[in-house]
Structure 1
Amino acid sequence: MSEATAIPGIPRRFAALRNRDSRPYLFTSGLSMMADNTEHVITYWVLWQTFHSPALVGFQIISHWLPFLLLSVWTGTLAEKYDCRRLIQAAQGLFMLVSAVWGVLFLTDSLTVWAACILLVLHGTAGSIWGPAEQLMLHDFVDRHELPSAVRMNATFQSLGILFGPVVGSALLLWLGPTGGIFANVLIYLPMTVLMFRTKFTGHVRDAAAAGVGAEKPRVGFRDTMRVLRGIRSNHLIIAMIIISGLTAITIGNALQSSMPAFAARLGAGSSGDFTYGALLFAMGFGGVVGGFLLEATGVIRPTLRAAVLSTVVFGAAIVVFAVTASYALALVALVIAGCGEIASLSITQSVVQLEAPAGERGRTLGVYGMFASGLRTGGGVTLGVLGAAVGVIPAVGVFAAVLTVGALGAWWFAARRPAARDAAQLR
């Protein structure tokens, strides 16, 4: 039984970066992700200094991911029906509006908890609108056999944005203060917004060409959406990718960042100061960026079920090592390896879902994937809090990593149950 969607031809190394259409998209996507994380640094700092509210800290996480859980299928439907350029611009515009309103509230010293909660929810909503549309654009930029390269490079550049967002946010805080920094952050969203006026791709060009000139757009009503969801249920390979991504979201998705102070204290933050904590946070992000470029340069991993499972197992096993080791050096190495495994797992699961999804249903399929891959991070803090209270934060992270590893193997077994006849039909 074959595990992957057939991909004709051998993709070029860094195919997406060689493509003059996708190259600026990757760079601007990374910039927008950096702006997203820069805003978090500035606003979270101001909110803590202003209110000192642990409840608000928890709401910051919930508000960021809950819109993905509630809206991803709907925003995937929008991406499937409408011009993805305009949806991306709408998302970027909402990001910019939220940053600007933060700035006005800081400037006028009129920040309240309720205003902060509304802005946090709007910021999360902008992210949920951006997600499916930006994935469909990748499908337009490159040929089908080069799509995994585009997905991997997009994930890598966004990882760069996540990696440098805290650096830029901290620099803006020191240089311009929170008010000037948040207004400056608005400008970082502009390159992607402008690019969407310049590109000819809509997220539907290749699908329209394959369907033929004048092909009728699919209806995107509630009944049709439910039909698509039932169709996803029958595709064990897509379901396996959703299981893997959902397990990652609800186990380790938010657990590492929120629990890192505990790990830093165990590894000597008391004597090393902030360097230990900062190095641990940096190590995993660094691993993701390096892993993305190495995977692209070597081409050793293809978008298959086996590769998705093995990369997830590497991710989970590395976090288990990180959770049990008392060695600072080994902890850093484990986090770098975990970052490599995470970027591989993320890019492979996204690629498989894109390749397996029918052309007229790709947006909603990506919406379902996003609902689990991002939306379930909403519950990650709850699961960490409950288990952490029972056994301790550090053991809880180790348990979650072990659960993720076993769950990925379970997803492999689930997808392997596909009838051979269905495999043959999908490969034709």
Structure 2
Amino acid sequence: MESGTVQAVPEARGGMFRSLRNHNYRLFALGGVVSNVGTWMQRTAQDWLVLDLTHGSAAALGLTTALQFLPTLLLGLWGGMLADRYPKRPLLVVAQSLMGVLALTMGVLTVTGSAQVWHVYLMALVLGLIACVEVPTRQSFVVEMVGRKDLPNAIALNASSFNLARVVGPALAGVLIHALGGTGPIFLINALSFAGVLGGLMLMRASELTAPEPVPRAKGQLREGLRYVMERPELLMPILLIAFVSMFSQSFSMSIALMARQVFTAGASSFGLASSMFAIGALAGALMAARRARPSRRLLVGGALSFGLFQIATGLAPWYPLYLLLLVPTGVAMVSVNTAANAGVQLAASPEMRGRVMGIYMLVFTGGAPIGAPLLGWISELGGPRAGTVMGGALTVIGVGVAIMLTKAIGRRSHATVRGVAAATAGAR
């Protein structure tokens, strides 16, 4: 059995795409590409639909983002616990099917002209509830397909797939919104795209999955997961850092929408172009991460600081072409820190705790959006999108420093507690 401490991982061999030699992971990755393109098309359409229905309200856009991520903030730990208790592949099949039904429903409402802003709010909230279980399950399922040796590579390839879709999806959505005269068909296309990932899951070879024994139901499992993370700096550091960074990285697409529409007065197709430029950088960052055997703390901290500084630069960009260029390194920095934190956390977690650890990780990764998105929306309402973007970058940089200080403080307290227990035990003898 793997221990909860970071173990040496053999130097990666086999190239940037070595994880694709695995049959199950190849199905998972190919299905994910199709589904991710549809998901990013829907995200673009969702933002544009909210702006249309509310006549350009930044606060409404922030509320939509908050509703989508609020369930993870409240229930993310519970979802991670379910990922440890039950087989992951059936959980993913159910969750992906429900997401497809939601997209289909929203598409029908929009195409028929019945969509109202509260429908979008409700869809975002229900998507968030499903994601509470789907995201930690999907994240912790990767190691069951590829093993520890290829886990960093598989995580980086997942990020590459996600960000390749981020390049294609928004640009395609922008073109189709303009060509088809609305956002409704985009939701329907996304509903169809779920067939890719569902097909991949159904065709996997169960005999080649290395699933741990499900953890039986017991009291105190959530507290056990929290204590497990708090006692291990190799887990605590990336989780705390991601907690601060993701508060504004998750809502950065909202900043792109506001900058494109209100600062540079761009249409839907130009908004899609801006999202795609950011995604090109993210894809480049993910492909660079796929070459690394394992992430380093220097990469984690450097990527987080760079993301904050580039956010500030994009908020200050005076011309639209320069703004588009600055989105590329911003995307590189964001994915560098995300992949480094994700791989580091999964490698440091033991198999029986991985679902709960990833539940905590995804809680802080997505749970900051209900705080960051409304805050940036409110600042953008008062001072304009530039002020909101710059403030997001400044708070990201400050958050990196806070995460480092908190890790050191909690580590010192934990060591002091261990020494106290050891001294008391020795005295009792």
Smaller-chain TM-score bracket? 0.7 to 0.9
The CA distance in 1 between the partners of 2:252 and 2:150, in whole Å, is 33
Q: Confirm or deny that 1:348 pairs with 2:340.
A: yes
Residues 136 and 203, structure 1, Cα contact 8 Å, conserved in 2:
no
Tell me if the contact between 1:163 and 1:285 (Cα under 8 Å) persists in the aligned partners.
Answer: yes
Match of 1:191 in 2: 196
Corresponding residue for 1:87?
91
Aligned equivalent of 1:426: none
Which shows bigger deviation, 378-387 or 237-246? 378-387
1:219 to 216, 241, 244: 216
Structure 1 counterpart of 2:100, which letter? M
Aligned residue among 374, 389, 394 for 1:397: 389
Deviation, 1:154, is 0.6
Distance in 2 separating the partners of 1:23 and 1:239: 31
Aligned residues: 405
Could you say if the C-alpha distance between residues 107 and 253 of structure 1 is closer, same or farther in structure 2, counting changes exceeding 3 Å?
closer
2:107 is the counterpart of 1:77: no
Assess if the C-alpha contact under 8 Å between 2:249 and 2:334 holds in 1. no
What is the aligned partner in structure 1 of residue 356 from structure 2?
364
Residue identity in the other structure for 2:199: V
**Corresponding residue for residue 118 of structure 1:** 122
Counting aligned pairs with the same residue, the percent is: 21
Find the aligned partners of 1:416 and 1:11 in 2 and give their Cα distance.
31
What letter corresponds to residue 33 of structure 1 in structure 2? N
- Segments of structure 1 that go 5 or more residues without pairing to the other structure are 209-216, 423-428
How many angstroms apart in 1 are the aligned matches of 2:270 and 2:48? 20
**What is residue 228 of structure 1 aligned with on the other side?**
225
Unmatched tracts of structure 2, length 5 or more: 416-429
CA shift, 1:344, in A, is 1.0
C-alpha separation in 2, matches of 1:110 and 1:155: 36
**How far apart, CA to CA, are the structure 1 residues paired with 2:123 and 2:28?**
27
Rounded to whole Å, the distance in 2 between the matches of 1:289 and 1:145 is: 22
Matched, 1:384 2:381: no
SS at match of 2:212: helix
Alignment pair present for 1:205 and 2:210: yes
| Partners of 1:365 and 1:34 in 2: CA distance | 28
Q: How do 1:22-421 residues align onto structure 2 when only pairs under 5 Å count?
A: 22-46=25-49, 48-49=51-52, 52=55, 54=57, 56-106=60-110, 109-173=113-177, 174-175=179-180, 178-201=183-206, 205-208=210-213, 217-255=214-252, 257-258=254-255, 260-262=257-259, 269=264, 277-297=271-291, 299=292, 302-326=294-318, 330-388=322-380, 392-415=384-407, 418=411
CA distance in 1, matches of 2:393, 2:107: 39
After superposition, the CA RMSD in angstroms is 3.2
Q: 1:84, CA displacement in angstroms?
A: 1.1
Whether contact under 8 Å (2:309, 2:393) holds in the other structure is yes
Farther-moved stretch of structure 1 (42-51 vs 93-102):
42-51
Q: 2-side partners of 1:260 and 1:44: how far apart?
A: 8
Aligned residue for 1:7?
8
Distance in 2, matches of 1:391 and 1:46, equals 23
* Residue 18 in structure 1 maps to residue 21 in structure 2: yes
Native 8 Å contact 1:64 1:124 kept in 2: yes
SS of match in other structure, 1:144: coil
Check whether the contact 1:140–1:201 (CA below 8 A) recurs between aligned residues. no
**1:289 alignment partner AA:** L
- Paired residue secondary structure (1:145): coil
- CA 1:357–1:315: 2 relative to 1, 3 Å: same
Q: Distance in 2 between matches of 1:84 and 1:51?
A: 39
CA distance change for structure 1 residues 59 and 306 in 2, over 3 Å: closer, same or farther?
same
